[in-house]
Structure 1
Amino acid sequence: MRYVSVTQDEYGNNLDPTAYVKRLPTIAQSLPAGARAFATDPDHYDFFSRRCVKDLLLDRVEFTDNGGEVDLLLGFRHNCWKHEEDLTIRYQGIRSFTLDLPENEPNWRLLREVVLDEILPAPGGCTHEIDCLAGTVLIACRDLEASWAEADCPDRNRSTT
């Protein structure tokens, strides 16, 4: 990622989206409408928000031929201790899709939880890089649309007494 910082040390992951968040007001003007709405959502990089992408788990990948243009749907499952909703991102006009996993294992289910992401302008649209605990996903597309839907989370309502 260009602006979002994700580093590791002996204590774990160090996550810092500050440089991206500061740069976002100038970058946002160049993003397609859907990508702009998702990237600039005030909850997106707020680690205490229920709509922060951190700790979501990729659990659905679907490619669709849309009249000669390839679309992609990524479904992210909630973490019951943090989120109340699942996230679905629909990418229109896929230009590239890159999956980077250790040892080039082609199974996207091995990515594990989302650490952070970054959306940047690109010719004809945008790129969306998603850094996970065990790899990254990089998508170049015309635009994207993100939507949240209530999740079934039985642990959330469990009594601790």
Structure 2
Amino acid sequence: MKHVRVEATGTGNYLDPRAYLRLLPALSPELPPGARAFAADPDHYDFPGKRCVKDLVLDTLLRGTTDGEDWLQLGFRHNCWKHDEDLSIRYAGLRTLTHDPAAWTGFGAVTLDEILPHDHGCSHEIGFLAGSLTVVSRDLTAAWTEADCPDK
């Protein structure tokens, strides 16, 4: 990621979105509406918050074409210790999807993410404990839905 810091330490990960959050007011006008709303949500980087992306786990990936436009949908499963909801992100006007490692093997939990303006609309890089995904699209829509936490 360009501005969000995710660094491995001997005991875990150092996560710091502050540089990105300082730039976000200047970047926001350049982001498409859905990407801007998701990036600027005050809970997005609030680590103890219920709608922070940290600790979500990617569990679905759907890809298709509607009316000649490619789309991608990523589904993230909640962590019952932290979240009350699952997250779904739909990318309209999909341009590229890249991932590291190249094999689709368990990425683990989300560390943090970063949404930036792009010539095609926006880029969304998602860091995981064991890799990353980057999506370039015209825009994205994020939706939270109630999760099935049995102990809540």
TM-score, scaled to structure 2: 0.98
Do the aligned partners of 2:95 and 2:120 also contact (CA within 8 Å) in 1?
no
Aligned 8 A contact 2:86 2:145 in 1: yes
Aligned equivalents of 1:57 and 1:78: distance in 2?
7
Higher helix share: 1
What is the RMSD of the two structures over their aligned residues, measured on CA atoms?
A: 0.8
Where does residue 73 of structure 1 map in the other structure?
73
Matches within 5 A, 1:1-161: 1-101=1-101, 104=102, 106-107=103-104, 109-154=105-150, 156-157=151-152
Q: Give the ranges of 4+ consecutive aligned residues of structure 1 lying more than 2 Å apart after TM superposition.
A: none
The letter of the residue matching 1:63 is R
Equivalent residue letter for 2:111: V
Distance in 1 separating the partners of 2:9 and 2:63: 36
Note the alpha carbon deviations across 1:97-136, whole angstroms, 9 max, x for none. Answer: 00111xx3x22x5111100000000002000000000100
Q: Take 1:152 and 1:118, find their aligned partners in 2: how far apart are those partners?
A: 27
In 1, the alpha carbon distance for the partners of 2:21 and 2:8 equals 21
Task: Say whether the 8 Å CA contact 2:120–2:136 is kept in structure 1.
Answer: no
Identity of aligned residues (%): 55
SS of match in other structure, 2:21: helix
Amino acid at match of 2:46: D
5+ unaligned residues in a row in structure 2: which ranges?
none
Q: CA deviation at 1:150?
A: 0.4
Separation in 1 of the partners of 2:41 and 2:4? 16
The alignment covers a number of residue pairs equal to: 152
From the CA coordinates, give the structure whose radius of gyration is larger. Answer: 1
Q: Is the 8 A contact 2:24 2:40 kept in 1?
A: yes
